[in-house]
Amino acid sequence: MENYIGVDESGKGDFFGPLVIAGVVSNENLNKELEKFGVKDSKKLSDKRVFELSEKIKEVCIVNVVVIKPKRYNELTEKLNLNKLLAWGHARVIENLLKEIEKVGFKCSSAISDQFGDENYLLNSLMQMGKKINLIQTPKADETDIAVASASILARAEFLKQLKILSEKYGMNFPKGAGQNVINFANEFVKKFGKDELKNVAKIHFKTKKQILSQSF
């Protein structure tokens, strides 16, 4: 039975918190087990359910999670556009999983991810080991493939965990998303900690930053 890798990310559309990319090694039998758990696209699950399912996924699958925290994210996006950064993160997860698979003597035929931007971004980001597998990029892969949906759950669980860590560090309950409530919160954060501290908690390339106070970033 052929193993394959599903990869997805979380935090891309959230002003606060990191960008998280996760990958899951699965196959036909494991996919049936994951379906029984109730795995589906993380956007359709409550935060509580995301945490519950992430633990179940880790029990039965080889997994890998890469966290790009806000400060590092902001440094990287000065050099790379978002699609290239996503490709870099996806490639690292695929490479990490291929190394783990090799350690236990498994083989892996392919990797599936969402399509973002030019498909060559991800192909070009893969290192030597990654170039040996069949890379499939398809729109809304998290809705059509169980392994990718599992990766979306792992990524979301880690994103939520990191957001909680920020909340505890600063004594403020950081919101998800990038809506008006986020803008209001960001204004309060800047008043309390200063605008320079934003780079350590938020993705400052967002258009949202232009609506925070009237100060220049």
Looking at residue 1, its pLDDT comes to 64
Name residues whose C-beta falls within 8 Å of residue 150's C-beta, 6 or more positions apart in sequence: 6, 24, 26, 34, 39, 53, 57, 61
Fold of the domain built from segment(s) 3-166: Nucleotidyltransferase; domain 5 (3.30.420)
CA-CA distance, 91 to 79, in Å (whole number)?
A: 17
CA-CA distance, 87 to 168, in Å (whole number)?
A: 31
Looking at residue 141, its pLDDT comes to 87
Looking at residue 49, its pLDDT comes to 95
Query: Tens digits of per-residue pLDDT, 102-159?
Result: 888 888 989 999 887 778 888 888 887 777 889 999 888 888 899 999 999 999 999 9
Looking at residue 106, its pLDDT comes to 86
Query: What 3-state DSSP class applies to 14?
Result: coil
Domain residue extents for the chain? 3-166, 171-211
- Low-confidence stretches of the chain (pLDDT beneath 70): 1, 209-210, 212-217
Looking at residue 75, its pLDDT comes to 94
Give the CA angle between residues 66, 70, 73 to the nearest 5°: 70
Rg (the chain; Cα; Å) = 18
Report DSSP letters for 102-146, one per residue. Answer: HHTT--EEEEEEE--S-THHHHHH--TTGGGSEEEEETTHHHH-H
Query: What 3-state DSSP class applies to 39?
Result: coil
- Note the pTM of the prediction, 2 decimals: 0.93
Distance of CA 12 to the CA centre of its chain: 7
